[in-house]
A and B are shown apart, each in its own frame.
Chain A
Amino acid sequence: MPAKMPLDAILAALFPAGHAVTVAEGLITGEGPFGDGRLVVVGIDGDTALGVEGALMLSRAVLDAVKAGESSGSRAPILVAVDSDSQRMSRRDELLGLNECLAHLAKALLLADHLGHPTVGLIYGHSAAGAFIATALATRVLAALPGADPSVMDLPSVARVTKLPLEKLEAMAASTPVFAPGLDNMVATGAVHVVLDPGQPLDAQLRALIADLPPGDIRDRLGRERGGRPVAQVIAERVVSQARGT
């Protein structure tokens, strides 16, 4: 697997003229000049687990960008850069309503999209489970860098839950993208739209993505075309067609 591109290098490539993006306790917030305007960046660095405080700090930053967009009429694109662990697994986080905090962060990103902010995910390291759903997967388009390692659950944990031998799972994973961790499998599923080329300027690649945002949610179509989710699009369309009585 290629090495993970560090956040510093990513930000330097995105903002050749400099930026005001900072990382505190693994949480990324800030912005920088981008094209004729600016690019807002939120995210998670350093394989950090996302808990209740982190989710609310990121949602605060997203809502601030939305507020600024509503008052200025200029709706900045929002980049959600992710190298995270899963959601923080603790009794305290669940006691305080982690599901509400993660859903709130996702809703903030979905609202930003709805109000006209281009939203782009960028997975450059790990991410998993609830942290992935609440951040990068809540954007309109999700890009990855080589070296990214998204997953739902690692294979040893899958082996524990499914009670299948790890060697068997590893063999199955080689031919079946639907359950196995890894970037290639998330691309095949349609969750990751595109893998960027770190050898080319990242800012230009991001601008091209924003200029050519898919009109809606095309992830199930991508999953069918790429073979990682063979039937989801057909099933969803059949439900829509029967609901419309056509």
Chain B
Amino acid sequence: MAVTSASADPTRLSWYEASARQRVAAFLDADTFQEFVGPAERAMSPHLPLFELPRAFDDGIVVGRGRLDGRPVLVAAQEGRFMGGAFGEVHGAKLVGLLRAAGAVTPAAVLILFDTGGVRLQEANAGETAIAEAMRAIAEVRAAGIPVIGLIGGRAGAYGGGGLIAGTCARLAVSEGGRISVSGPEVIETNKGAEEFDSRDRALVWRTMGGKHRRLTGGADAYVADTVAAFRQAALALIDRAPAFDLATLEAEQARLEARLARFGACRDGAEIWVRLGVNDPDAVPAMTDAAFAETVAGVPEASHDAR
């Protein structure tokens, strides 16, 4: 797929605004991406026509191999603009296939560029099962010593089963626009009412599940600016310090998450948690520049760990 040279400049290309194909092309070393089961193969959803919905030649996900600073990697990128990046049968199977291939081709890392609302309801059972298959495959890839790194900064975020897959990865990088959550704001509001979660309150959404909150609480390992170049730098740094998938790591994660509940279980808002983490001026966090936020994170011991 052609990408114009101006928009392909990774230092200028907004991750949030870019398509999945633009992200992959600009993220990897130039001209190294080779796609598997690409659009020419017309691997489309067999189910969407039943709902009279348009299909995509790639079912909303791009998978393949490429190089990152010369090192071989496998990469999957979800397209948030097709069906909200949601997991259908083909979409999920492409990710599962990529993860299963990792054991055989032993890349330096598998990178998942999340951009998903979760399960595609029109193919709900297939999507849900594929998410379970992907998590099992990630555990096996990690157990084989291959880092699986998630990058989250797309318009659809990492919601539903996408949030669970993200939590299975060895490392996560997130930008300010990236949101990680199981139930989305609209789902909570629909089920529990607007007094529980007003989904139109964007500031509340960001304080509850946005990139800065996840980074401060250790839900993500790197916070990056919204450019493809920044995600690339973060991924390179994270590959070399991915935690092992073993009992020690999961015991550490158990302790980390239990400590979080004990310390912050009574908090009602992200800003309350940030205060307890030692952030002096929590009200300033949402508007902080990337540089100032990086400094703030550096002062929060809970933000950085190997317990994932």
Q: Which of A154-206 contact B (CB under 8 A)?
A: 157-158, 160-162, 164, 172, 176-180, 185-186, 188-191
Chain A binding surface, main DSSP class:
helix
Whether B153 is near chain A, meaning CB under 8 Å from some CB there, is no
Taking A89-B192, A106-B168 as contacts, is the C-beta distance between A152 and B128 under 8 angstroms?
A: yes
Known contacts: A89-B187, A104-B167. The answer to whether A99 contacts B180 by CB under 8 A is yes
**A67 cross-chain contacts in B, Cβ below 8 A:** 247, 251
**Contact residue among B92, B122, B135 (Cβ-Cβ distance under 8 Å from A138):** B135
Number of B interface residues, CB 8 Å? 88
Query: B167, A103: Cβ atoms under 8 Å?
Result: yes
| Contacts known (A66-B247, A94-B188, A134-B164); A162 close to B122, Cβ less than 8 A | yes
CB closest residue in chain A, given B187: A89
Interface residues of A (CB under 8 A from B): 52-53, 56, 59-60, 63, 66-67, 70, 87, 89-104, 106-108, 110-111, 114-115, 129-130, 132-134, 137-138, 151-153, 157-158, 160-162, 164, 172, 176-180, 185-186, 188-191, 217, 219-220, 223, 228-233, 235-240, 242-244
Chain B residues near A160 (CB, 8 Å)? Answer: 190
Contact A90:B128 (CB < 8 A) given known A99-B182, A114-B143: no
| Interface residues as binary, B30-60 with A (CB distance below 8 Å gives 1, 0 otherwise) | 0000001100010100110011000000000
Residues of B close to A189: CB separation below 8 A: 125-126, 129
Min C-beta distance of B271 to chain A, whole Å: 11
Q: Is the CB of B247 within 8 A of A111?
A: yes
B156 on the A face (CB < 8 A): no
Whether a CB of chain A sits under 8 angstroms from the CB of B29 is no
- State whether A244 touches B121 (Cβ < 8 A): no
- In the complex, A215 Cα to B253 Cα: how many Å? 28
Which of B96, B101, B124, B219 meets A178, CB within 8 Å? B124
Instruction: Tell me whether B136 and A110 are in contact (CB under 8 A).
Output: yes
Interface membership of B258, Cβ < 8 A: yes
A97–B90 contact, CB under 8 A?
no
| B100 to chain A: closest residue by CB | A240
On whether the beta carbons of A236 and B132 are closer than 8 Å, the reply is: no
In the complex, B270 has a CB within 8 A of chain A? yes
A134 CA to B129 CA, complexed, in Å: 12
